[in-house]
Amino acid sequence: MKNIIKILFVLMAFTIISCEDYLVEEPLTTTSNELTLSDFSGLSASTLGAYSPLYHSAWYGAGFYIISDLKANNAKSSPISSGRYQTNYSWQQDPSNTSGLWTRAYRTITYACNVLDELEAFELMPGEANQADVNHLKAENLFLRALSHFDLVRLFAQPYTYQPNGLGVPIVLKTERVSPERSTVSEVYAQVIADLNAAKPLFKASFNQEYRSGLADLKGVASADAVDALLARVYLTMGDYAQAATYATNVINSGNYSLYTEANYGSVWGTDAASEVIFEIWGNSSQTNAPYWAEIGYMYSPTGYGDVCASQDLLDLLASEAGDVRSNVFLEGPSNPGYFWTTKYPGKNGDRRQNNIPVLRLSEMYLIRAEARLNTGGDALADLNVIRTNRGLAAAVTITADDIFNERRKEFCFEGQIFFDYARLNKSLVRADEDGRITENKDVPFPSFLWAMPIPIGEMEANPNMVQNDNY
């Protein structure tokens, strides 16, 4: 098997994918061999192409979120399981089955780097947009490169809060033939932050569709608010609560988003431009990287594949206080009474194989700031209660770290957060409900080598500078 990173660099050095099909309302059906990086139109289309791998079944299109909730205690293998994700459920990750995210994230990094390289010396032709548009393209690609490195280091390395100087992932900033070494975890985080800080001032103050004909979803592309929201998450993951609070506050105070309410919570999922969404994956079944039958909506449906359903202890947590509207986004299987599947991914136009998949939401900013304030000072209780009262619950009168952890568990169930919450908090996992389907690793202590996924075998075999994680 060839080195994944080398393949992508060579690919992008000479060709451009059919990249307008990510966010346009009517995706292209043929490859456009005429696309180049020599003009603004080609750079703009290539930027849209850099988003495309995010919708792959190994990333936000399914696996990245499913694995997080299944490895932790929000989800379990369902009674109608077709066998998918079983190794993840038992934490039996193997170098032979971890290439999915690795490949797609480095592909996005490569696409982004290729555009950024061209933008270094790019000169606009007369009538070709303007410099603000060029800067906006640069900002989008910096955001995508940061997000990709961040997701990689969280999955393939021990958490920053445990081993900041441990092995992270390769930092890729150029499209070139290399056999990269793994940077440290802290070096990867530093690069993520540097890219996001560089991106933020380059975004246009008022983004529009002038140079993106047919762009379907403005929240499906990066923005200055998305940078602040991602920085809040990055700093929370690092345990830097002061910075996390600062960036979460930037988003909250922007006034550009509003929380789902008790009245509309059950109807917002899958819709375009939902009020809380800061950044999302705009899914369409005609896209190059569309997961089709492996898409998250189909995987989470009892009338689809339905491989993964809610754990009973999550359902019990949601039912522990009467009135919590988050209990309403579950569907009992028609042939499996007593088992429930999430309805957060209902599909578009009746097709569960395409969904808008939220990545960053306003509610996360409140809960990030609540946790930050609990650790540094400030009115953490007020932030927690903003969420509770918008979800049909009475305001709490006290607050603890466990209260915030449980609130995050309820709020972001099936949105891929809980595994990373356990990791960053160095918290051991104890699973109460697994229906006897886990063959080993029912409970996973922290620390353990298991909290870092193994580097894919293809990369290990082809890259002489790559070092495997311990015990794989």
* pLDDT on residue 124: 84
Give CA–CA dist 428/423, Å, rounded.
8
How many degrees, rounded to 5, is the angle at CA 355 between CA 349 and CA 360?
140
* pLDDT on residue 178: 85
Question: Rounded to a whole number, what is the largest CA-CA distance in the chain?
Answer: 67
Closest listed residue to residue 144, CA positions, set 66, 254, 53, 219 = 53
**Token match 């898409």: residue?**
295
CB 233 within 8 A of CB 360: yes
What single-letter DSSP state applies at residue 469? P
Q: 280 forms bridges with which residues in the sheet?
A: 358
* pLDDT on residue 446: 98
Where residue 467 falls (left for φ over 0; alpha for ψ -120 to 50; beta otherwise) is: beta
CA-CA-CA-CA dihedral for 382, 222, 66, 62, to nearest 10: 150
* pLDDT on residue 203: 94
> Letter for the amino acid at 151?
D
Closest listed residue to residue 113, CA positions, set 194, 165, 171, 64 = 171
Phi/psi at 160 (5° precision): -55, -40
Where residue 249 falls (left for φ over 0; alpha for ψ -120 to 50; beta otherwise) is: alpha
Closest listed residue to residue 299, CA positions, set 311, 308, 291, 290 = 308
Sign of the alpha-carbon torsion through 84, 159, 431, 371:
negative
Give CA–CA dist 392/111, Å, rounded.
44
User: DSSP per residue over 32-57, as a string?
Assistant: -TT--SSSHHHHHHHHHHHHGGGGST
* pLDDT on residue 36: 59
User: DSSP per residue over 108-162, as a string?
Assistant: HHHHHHHHHHHHTT--PPTTS--HHHHHHHHHHHHHHHHHHHHHHHHHHS--TTT
- Does the predicted model carry a pTM greater than 0.85? yes
Strands 75-77 and 336-342: unpaired
CB 365 within 8 A of CB 303: no
Q: How many CB atoms lie within 10 A of CB 141?
A: 29
* pLDDT on residue 23: 43
What single-letter DSSP state applies at residue 316? H
Closest listed residue to residue 423, CA positions, set 453, 399, 400 = 453
Domains of the chain: 4-208+215-451 (1.25.40.390)
Cβ neighbours of residue 267 under 8 Å, at least 6 residues apart? none
Give, for all 472 residues of the chain, the pLDDT tens digit.
Answer: 334 444 343 333 333 333 334 443 332 222 232 345 878 888 988 999 999 999 999 999 999 999 999 999 999 999 997 889 999 999 999 999 999 999 999 999 999 999 999 998 898 888 778 899 899 999 999 999 999 999 999 999 999 999 999 999 999 999 888 899 999 999 999 999 999 999 999 998 765 545 555 567 889 999 999 999 999 999 999 999 999 999 999 999 999 999 999 999 999 998 876 999 999 999 988 888 999 999 999 999 999 999 999 999 999 999 999 999 999 999 999 999 999 999 999 998 888 899 999 999 999 999 999 999 999 999 999 999 999 999 999 999 999 999 999 999 999 999 999 999 999 999 999 999 988 888 899 999 999 999 999 999 999 999 999 999 999 9
